[in-house]
């Protein structure tokens, strides 16, 4: 398997624009996680899905952020409108476990470095 | 709910040992350890479940003291390849005692191994 695939790897956008980050989890994994990493806040869990269903989105900072998982092989994280403080590296991770959550090894994608100017 | 890690940073010479600590203010179901090299994604090292187990991964091992709500990562005879930021992630013990929940990562410990 190619691992967790994220696109784009880098994104530079102007404030106010819509940004969509994409993630393809490892085939067969049933949990998917979106994390945001900054120097100030470290690795923050934004939302996670189990069997394509959002389980916990309490980490989503504002209504400007939304995430979807229409099927087992694809997820998106959308920011609309984007702001400079959204600049960060966004990681997607997937895992397989009997129950919801990261109870087994999670595999991270290479991340999307987002810069909002 | 974010766990506390110590030290924040450590510099070692090759062959030296190090200990990274992770503590929580809440009862834990599990502790997860990941290493992230600069510019790369975090990579899984190990998971420790409640029960006070100890695990090993090459010359890297960890312990979990659920009573103290702490975990420690031990790196022995460090190698240059051990350099990176080490994150512990903690999963709070749920009301059902066996329920899994989200993993919250600590701020990380930067480890640099020099020749």
pLDDT at A27: 95
pLDDT at B94: 65
Cβ–Cβ below 8 Å for B103 and A42: no
Q: Which residues contact A75 (CB under 8 A, 6 or more apart)?
A: A22, A23, A25, A32, A34, A49, A67, A68, A69, A92
- Would you call A43 an interface residue with chain B, using a CB distance cutoff of 8 Å? yes
Between B74 and B55, where is the model more confident?
Answer: B74
Cβ–Cβ below 8 Å for A102 and B102: yes
> Each residue of A71-111: pLDDT tens digit?
999 999 999 999 999 999 999 999 987 665 667 889 999 99
Question: A23, A100, A106: best mutation site toward chain B, by most B Cβ within 10 Å?
Answer: A106
pLDDT at A75: 98
Q: Which of A48, A101, A111 sits opposite B41 (nearest CB)?
A: A111
DSSP annotation of B83: -
Q: Which range has the worst mean pLDDT, A43-57, B52-66, B77-91?
A: B52-66
Q: Which of B44, B47, B102 sits opposite A48 (nearest CB)?
A: B102
Query: In whole angstroms, what is the distance from residue A59 CA to residue A76 CA?
Result: 16
pLDDT at B31: 92
Residue B86's pLDDT band (cuts 50, 70, 90) = very high
pLDDT at B99: 54
Name the 3-class secondary structure at A86. helix
Per-residue pLDDT at B52 exceeds 80: no
Q: Which residues contact B32 (CB under 8 A, 6 or more apart)?
A: A102, A106, B44, B46, B47, B48, B88, B89, B90, B91, B103
């Amino acid at each position: 398997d190619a691992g967790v695939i994220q696109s784009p790897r880098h994104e530079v956008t102007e404030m106010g624009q819509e940004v969509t980050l994409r993630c393809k989890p490892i085939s067969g994994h049933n949990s998917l996680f979106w994390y945001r990493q900054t120097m100030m806040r470290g690795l923050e869990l934004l939302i996670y899905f189990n069997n394509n269903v959002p389980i916990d989105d309490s980490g989503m900072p504002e209504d400007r952020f939304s995430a979807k998982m229409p099927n087992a092989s694809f997820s998106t994280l959308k920011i609309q409108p984007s702001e400079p403080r959204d600049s960060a590296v966004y990681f997607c991770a997937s895992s397989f476990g009997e129950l919801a959550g990261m109870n087994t090894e999670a595999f991270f994608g290479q991340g999307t470095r987002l810069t909002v100017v | 709910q974010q766990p506390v890690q110590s030290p924040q940073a450590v510099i070692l010479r090759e062959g030296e040992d190090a200990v990274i600590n992770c503590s929580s203010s809440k009862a834990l179901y599990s502790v997860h350890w990941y290493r992230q090299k600069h510019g790369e994604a975090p990579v899984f090292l190990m998971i420790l479940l409640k029960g006070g187990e100890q695990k090993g991964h090459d010359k890297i091992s960890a312990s979990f003291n659920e009573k103290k709500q702490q975990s420690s990562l031990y790196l022995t005879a460090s190698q240059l390849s051990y350099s990176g930021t080490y994150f512990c992630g903690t999963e709070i013990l749920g009301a059902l005692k066996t329920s899994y929940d989200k993993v919250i990562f600590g701020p990380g410990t930067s480890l640099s191994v020099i020749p």
